[in-house]
């Protein structure tokens, strides 16, 4: 049966345009001299910082380096945070910019093109057309093979689509926050998100439907009323 | 208004996010009710996004938080 639930309508988590009162208060106290509180200030955003960097770099070690650089840079520049955006958006923007700078440097060293192919934005994307779909339950993620399949599909996306997908669908940023973080308008975010999502469907749907049907059914047959696919 | 499959695919991302205007949404849903291919594209896309969003798919490296705060502490003590 096809689910009618909307995906993540409730996940537009931190919508407010300005720093939360929690963040605002901590920022004021850090700037007032209680510097140890910076640990507490950044703690809720550790995951976002890391995966923002990872969305650009696709490398765990580099993403962790950039996450550390981001936190140090934020500490150094906290006084210049103007408070007209959310603190989390500001932090993640730093991470994205640091990661892009690192990637640019690496590409220059390798004499590769820095810019995305502008024609990518114009190209038409067609999903994998299926006759039907039986839901793959989240329990399937207990299987390393399935997690790797998903990660590898995300990694295979061109950078501009991977960034949007990770911010929006992994980090659950709102469209507006994703736009501010990436420095593009909301229309661009929506266009890239559509393409990123259809690319993911095109890559993954046939694999999940065929390659793993037998093993998934074997693992979860108690939950299914019949064959999954 | 009648949509063909290609136009429904163009709405799938906004449809999943619940941001398609009501009138267009009804047209999309009429199409989905009669087109098993587009219904399967929608269901598979939504299912894949749920799996991608699960914290088990993208896990932080072990010890990441500890190393981050240790590095920060060194800077704070300067």
Assembly ipTM: 0.93
Residue A12: predicted pLDDT: 34
| Mean pLDDT value across residues B38-57 | 95
Q: Which residue has the tokens 């640091």?
A: A98
C-alpha dihedral sign at A46, B76, A73, A111: negative
A15 in contact with B at a CB cutoff of 8 Å?
A: no
What pTM value is reported for the model? Answer: 0.82
Interface test with B, best of A57, A127, A131, A177 (most B CBs within 10 A): A127
B44 in contact with A at a CB cutoff of 8 Å?
A: yes
The single-letter DSSP state of residue B56 is T
Q: CA A129 to CA A102: how far, in whole Å?
A: 38
Put simply, the answer to whether A138 touches B50 (Cβ < 8 Å) is yes
Residues in chain A: 229
Q: CA B40 to CA B24: how far, in whole Å?
A: 19
Residue A109: predicted pLDDT: 62
Q: CA A24 to CA A164: how far, in whole Å?
A: 27
Which helix (H) or strand (E) segment is A176 a member of?
Answer: helix A175-182
DSSP H helical segments within A32-165, as ranges?
A: 37-42, 46-57, 60-76, 87-109, 144-156, 159-165
Local confidence pLDDT in tens for the 229 residues of chain A: 333 334 443 333 333 456 678 999 999 999 999 999 999 999 999 999 999 999 999 899 999 999 999 999 999 999 999 877 899 999 999 999 999 999 888 776 655 554 555 555 556 778 998 888 988 988 888 888 999 999 999 999 999 999 999 999 999 999 999 999 999 999 999 999 999 999 999 999 999 986 555 555 444 444 433 333 3
Is the CB of residue A27 less than 8 Å from the CB of residue A81? yes
Put simply, the answer to whether B57 touches A39 (Cβ < 8 Å) is no
- Contact residues for B27 (Cβ-Cβ < 8 A; gap 6+): B1, B2, B3
Helix, strand, coil shares of chain B, percent, nearest 5, are 75, 0, 25
**How far is residue A172 CA from its own chain's centroid?**
7
Put simply, the answer to whether B69 touches A172 (Cβ < 8 Å) is no
Put simply, the answer to whether A46 touches B64 (Cβ < 8 Å) is yes
């Amino acid at each position: 049966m096809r689910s009618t639930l909307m995906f993540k309508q409730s996940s537009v988590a931190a919508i407010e345009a300005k720093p939360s009162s929690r963040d605002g208060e901590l920022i004021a106290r850090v700037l007032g001299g209680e510097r140890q509180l910076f640990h507490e200030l950044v703690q809720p955003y550790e995951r976002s910082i890391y995966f923002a960097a990872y969305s650009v770099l696709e490398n765990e070690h580099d993403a962790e380096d950039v996450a550390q650089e981001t936190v140090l840079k934020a500490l150094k520049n906290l006084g210049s945070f103007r408070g007209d955006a959310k603190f989390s958006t500001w932090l993640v923007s730093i991470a994205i910019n640091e990661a892009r700078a690192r990637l640019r440097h690496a590409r220059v060293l390798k004499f590769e093109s820095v810019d995305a192919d502008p024609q990518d934005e114009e190209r038409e994307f067609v999903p994998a057309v299926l006759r039907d779909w039986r839901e793959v339950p989240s329990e399937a993620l207990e299987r390393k093979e399935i997690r790797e399949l998903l990660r590898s599909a995300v990694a295979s996306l061109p950078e501009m689509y991977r960034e949007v997908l990770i911010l929006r669908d992994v980090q659950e940023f709102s469209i507006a926050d994703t736009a501010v973080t990436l420095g593009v308008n909301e229309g661009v975010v929506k266009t890239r998100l559509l393409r990123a999502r259809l690319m993911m469907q095109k890559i993954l749907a046939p694999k999940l439907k065929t390659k793993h049907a037998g093993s998934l059914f074997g693992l979860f047959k108690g939950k299914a009323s019949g064959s999954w696919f | 208004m009648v949509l063909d499959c290609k136009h429904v695919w163009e709405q799938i991302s906004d449809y999943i996010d619940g941001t398609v205007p009501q009138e267009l949404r009804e047209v999309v849903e009429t199409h989905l009710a009669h087109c098993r291919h587009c219904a399967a594209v929608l269901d598979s896309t939504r299912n894949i996004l749920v799996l991608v969003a699960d914290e088990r798919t993208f896990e932080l490296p072990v010890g990441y938080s500890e190393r981050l705060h240790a590095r920060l502490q060194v800077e704070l003590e300067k």
